[in-house]
Chains A and B, each alone.
Chain A
Amino acid sequence: MSQKRLLVLPHIKVHNANALSSPFTIGFPAMTAWLGFTHALQRKLNASGYEELELTSVAVISHHMDLQTYKGSDDFVSSIVGTGNPLDKDGTRSAFIEEARCHLDVTLVIEYDEHDSEIFEDEVEAFIQLTEQHLHTMKLAGGDILDFNQPQLHFVDEYETAQIRKFTRSLMPGYAIIERRELMQESMQNGNDALAAMLEYLQVNHQCEQDDDDNITWTSYRKTAGWIVPIATGFHGISELSEAKNQRDPDTPHRFAEAIVTLGEFKMPYQIKSLDDMLWHYHTDLENNLYLCQQNNKI
C-alpha cells in the first residue's frame, strides 16, 4: 500500500514523564513508552466503536525536552532532582529511590490501518473529537498530558517525494528518534562487547595539532556524525514463562526481564526520506527472548 494513513497528535505537552527508561540511561523516555501509549490509545478507540482500527506504528518527534537533573558549576556529572514522594503510611520518608523526570513537547505520528472498513469517510470530525477525549484521560510515559494541538489525519503517498517533504516539514522544528542499532552491531563485529560498543560512539575524542607557528589547537570529535544517543528499545526475558507469586495479572504469562538499550539518532524530520525510516512498531523474537520496538524499515 503506497498510501500511508497517519494520525498526527501534535505538540503533546507532557509533565513529569519518566526519564529513567533503563538502568543505563537518563533522558528521553523509552520507545516502549511511546508504543505502549499508542497501543493503549488503540484499545480505547477499539472500545469506542472503532473495533477494526489498528494503530500499527508510531514516530516520535521531540520539540523540546526539559530534564530534571542538577549540575553545579564545578561538577562534571549531574545528579537527579528527586522529589522524595510518596511518604510512607506513617508520614515518614520512604526508602529513597531516585526518580528522574522530564517535561516534554512531542508530536506523535501514528500510522493506522482501517482494515477496509473506511470508517473515517464521513466522521473525521467525530473521530478527532473522540481521540481528543481519550487523550485527556491518558498518561504518556508515566507523565501527565497537559495540552496538545488538535489531532489531524493525513494521507501521504510513500512514492511522492513532494508529499513526504511537505509532511516532514510540517513536523519542524523537531527531532525524530531513529534506530542506529547497526552501529552497535558493527562495533561488536569488531570484537567489542556491547558496553564498549556503545561507549565507542558516545565518547568524545580529543586530539591536538601543532601548526608551523607552534600554535596548538585541540579539536574534539565523535566516531560518527549525527546526534547519536543511547535509547531503550525493549526488553530481554531472563527467565522462562511461568507463574510467579505477586504477578499483577494471574491470567497472563509472566517472566522476569531486563531493559535493553541500543543506539539511536535524533534527526530533523526534513532529513527523513521515507516515513518508514522514523516509524516504530512492536516486534517479538521469542526464540531469543527479545521484546522489541523496531523501525519499519529494518536496519
Chain B
Amino acid sequence: METGKTELRRNLDKLIKLRLEMPPKKEVKNGKSETDYFKALTHFLKKYPTGYLPNDKKECDSSLLMVSTNFTSVVSTYKYENTFKFYCEIEHPVLDEIAKDLSLSSTEMSEIMSLAKSFEVEKLEAYYLFKDNTKHDNLNTFSSEGLVEVIDKIAADSKHGTIVTHPAKMSQPSCKYPRISVDDFESANDGFIRSGNAASYFDLHINANKLKVFKFLSLSVNRLQVIEHIKRGNVKVISEAFKVEIEKAEQWVEDFQHCITSQVNKSHPLIKQVYFPVATGYHQLSLLTPAGLVFNLKNKIEWINKRSPKAYLGRQAQINNVKVPYSYSSVMNLTVTKHGGDHPKNISGLNNKFQSYYLLLSSPPSFKHSEIRVPKKSVFGETISPWYCREIFYAIHKIFQTPYERSPIPNKNMRKGVSNHIQKYIDFIINRVWSIRLLLSESDISISASLPKYQQVWLAPEHQEEREKTDEWLDKVVNEIAISFIKGYQKVLGKQAEKLGDSELAHIKKVVGENKEALR
C-alpha cells in the first residue's frame, strides 16, 4: 500500500486506472501535465445511486469515493463521521488539506462539495455493509439474487440474537442474562444522566459471527432504521429498498420478530445486585449498563475533542500561535476502557461498532503537589507563585478593563466578579498552605528560621495551638495575602496592569478578611 496519500486519493487513483482509458490531465508549469483530479472526481461523483443500493459499477464508484476517509491508514469499520461525504456535509476545514492533496482550487472544491451534499447519506452504510469484504472491482452482491441470499441468511441468523438496551455482557462477558430492552423512558429535567434524558441507540446480544444482523438492523431507510421498519411492519419500504417482492419482505419481517421479542427477565449471579432502602424495607436492584448512552457520550466527546471544525482549527491555531476569533473546547482527563479485550465483537453489536468508550474523571483536588517546596524566606513568591494563578489575574484584568466604568472596581456585579476571583486566589493559597503543613508533618523537613515569624506560625504543625489561640499572626497573613494579590496581578499582566489604589486594596483586604478563620 502506498503511504502518505489519503484513502480518498488512493481510491480515486485506483478508479482512474480501472475506468478511464484517457485519464484527464491538466497542464502545469513548464509544459508538464498532471492528473486533473477535479474532472475525475466530477466524473465519478455524478453517477450516484438512484435506488437504495448501487445498480451498477458506476454507482458503486461514487459510493466508494463518498465513504473514503481522510486517513492515510486503512480503516476497517464504517463510521459516517470519518467519511468524505461527512466532511463535505459540514464543510469541515480538513477539506482544505484534501483540496491541496488533489490540487483543487477553492471553486473546484465548492463544486465537489455540492455534488457530495446531494448524495443520500443513508445509502453509504448499506453500500459498505453489502460490499462487505469484497474488493471493489469484484462487487456482485448488489445483484438481486445475491442480495436476497445475504439478507435471508441475516434474517435466519437473527433468531440467535436479542435486541437489548442494557447488554448484560457489559457487566461481565460471561453474563448471558438478562436480555432486556426498554426504550419508552420519559425525559424530565431532573438533572440526571439516565435513559430517557439523552438519545440512545439499540444494541444486539448475539454471537460474534452473526453481527451482520446488528449492522443490517442499524441501516437507515427513509430516515428510519430497519429495526423500526420491522417493528412497524413497513414491508413496502423494505421491499422497495432491497428490490424484492412484498412476500419476501413479509417473510423477513417475520423472521426478525424473534430477536425483537425474545427478552429474558432473568438476572445473573455475575450481575451486581444491590439493596436500596425504601419506606417498606428494601428493593433489590440488578445493575446494568445503558450501552446506547455510554456510546452516545463517546460520540459527543469525540466531536468536541476531535471532529468538530472548531477543535480542528483551534488546535492548529494554538500550535502555530495564530489568533482565531472563536474558542474551542476539550474534554480532558479521560480514561479509555473497553469490553471484550481484543474481541469486542463478543460483547454486543454496539460494543463492536464503537470498540471502546470513555470514562469521565471524578477526582477530588489533591493537597499533595509534587512541585511543593517548603519556603525558605517567604511563602509568597516561593510556594505561592502568581504564575500558578495567571488565569485568575487575566480574568480579573478583563473586569478592570471594562470601559463603561471609570473605577476599576465599579458596580455591584463587577464587584461580585472581582470578589469571586479573589476568593479563587484565597482557595488556592489555602490549598497550598495545607500542602506545606502536610509535607512538614509527613517528613523530616523543619521550618526555616529565616521565614518571618508570622509565616512560621501559619505553616508549621508545631504551632497549631498558637494558631488556634492567637490572632496577631493572622492579621499579618490577611494583610500579606491582599498585597500579594496586587503584586501578583501586576507581575502577570506586566505593563498592561491597571493601577490599583487604596480603595481596591481595601476591597481585596475585606474579601481576604472574610476568610480569616479559614486561613487559621
Residue in B190, B191, B274, B286 whose CB lies within 8 Å of A32: B274
Set of chain A residues within 8 Å of B431, measured between Cβ atoms? 173, 268
Set of chain B residues within 8 Å of A237, measured between Cβ atoms? 283, 285
Is B360 interfacial (CB-CB < 8 Å)? yes
Given A173-B437, A216-B321, also A79-B335 (CB < 8 A) = yes
Is A244 interfacial (CB-CB < 8 Å)? yes
Whether B367 lies near A260 (C-beta < 8 A) is no
Whether B166 lies near A218 (C-beta < 8 A) is no
In the complex formed, the residue of A with least CB distance to B337 is A98
In the complex formed, the residue of B with least CB distance to A241 is B283
Is B350 interfacial (CB-CB < 8 Å)? no
Q: In the complex, which residues 268-288 of chain B have their Cβ closer than 8 Å to any Cβ of chain A?
A: 268-269, 271, 273-279, 281-288
Given A79-B336, A235-B276, A288-B188, also A188-B197 (CB < 8 A) = yes
Given A177-B364, A211-B496, A220-B391, also A252-B293 (CB < 8 A) = no
Whether B194 lies near A194 (C-beta < 8 A) is yes
Is B454 interfacial (CB-CB < 8 Å)? no
> Which A residues are within 8 Å of any B CB, using their own CB?
20-21, 23-28, 32, 36, 39, 62-65, 67, 69, 76-80, 94-98, 100, 165, 169, 172-173, 175, 177, 181-185, 188-189, 193-199, 202-211, 216-221, 225, 227, 229-233, 235-239, 241-242, 244-249, 252-264, 266, 268, 270-271, 282, 284, 286, 288, 290-291
Given A24-B297, A261-B193, A268-B427, also A256-B180 (CB < 8 A) = yes
Residue in B189, B297, B367 whose CB lies within 8 Å of A64: B367
Q: In the complex, which residues 287-308 of chain B have their Cβ closer than 8 Å to any Cβ of chain A?
A: 287-290, 293-294, 296-297, 300-301, 304
CA distance A202 to B341 in the complex (A): 28
Whether B364 lies near A175 (C-beta < 8 A) is yes
Is B76 interfacial (CB-CB < 8 Å)? no
Set of chain B residues within 8 Å of A210, measured between Cβ atoms? 323
Q: Which 5 A-B pairs have the closest CB atoms?
A: A173-B434, A95-B173, A207-B327, A194-B197, A184-B191
In the complex formed, the residue of B with least CB distance to A80 is B337
Is B363 interfacial (CB-CB < 8 Å)? yes
Residue in B277, B287, B331 whose CB lies within 8 Å of A39: B277
Given A65-B363, A199-B301, A268-B427, also A247-B286 (CB < 8 A) = yes
CA distance A220 to B395 in the complex (A): 10
CA distance A216 to B360 in the complex (A): 31
Set of chain A residues within 8 Å of B165, measured between Cβ atoms? 238
CA distance A165 to B268 in the complex (A): 49
**CB of A16, distance to nearest CB on chain B (Å):** 16
Contact with A along B423-438 (1 / 0, CB 8 A): 0100100110011011
CA distance A79 to B326 in the complex (A): 32
CA distance A125 to B438 in the complex (A): 30
Set of chain B residues within 8 Å of A62, measured between Cβ atoms? 364
Is B231 interfacial (CB-CB < 8 Å)? no
Given A76-B334, A268-B430, also A28-B518 (CB < 8 A) = no
CA distance A233 to B336 in the complex (A): 22
A-B contact pairs, 7 of them (CB 8 A): A173-B434, A173-B438, A206-B328, A256-B286, A260-B193, A266-B365, A270-B430
Set of chain A residues within 8 Å of B189, measured between Cβ atoms? 185, 188-189
CA distance A20 to B216 in the complex (A): 33
Whether A195 lies near B198 (C-beta < 8 A) is yes
Given contacts A25-B361, A96-B341, 4 further A-B pairs with CB under 8 A are: A28-B364, A97-B173, A219-B395, A230-B193
In the complex formed, the residue of A with least CB distance to B327 is A207
Whether B300 lies near A256 (C-beta < 8 A) is no
Is B10 interfacial (CB-CB < 8 Å)? no
**CB of B89, distance to nearest CB on chain A (Å):** 20
**CB of B180, distance to nearest CB on chain A (Å):** 6
Whether B330 lies near A169 (C-beta < 8 A) is no
CA distance A246 to B284 in the complex (A): 12
Whether A248 lies near B284 (C-beta < 8 A) is yes
Is B345 interfacial (CB-CB < 8 Å)? no
Set of chain B residues within 8 Å of A80, measured between Cβ atoms? 335, 337
Is B394 interfacial (CB-CB < 8 Å)? yes
Q: In the complex, which residues 194-244 of chain B have their Cβ closer than 8 Å to any Cβ of chain A?
A: 194-195, 197-199
CA distance A43 to B329 in the complex (A): 47
**CB of B142, distance to nearest CB on chain A (Å):** 37
Residue in A231, A258, A266 whose CB lies within 8 Å of B288: A258
Is B90 interfacial (CB-CB < 8 Å)? no
Is B517 interfacial (CB-CB < 8 Å)? yes
Whether B496 lies near A247 (C-beta < 8 A) is no
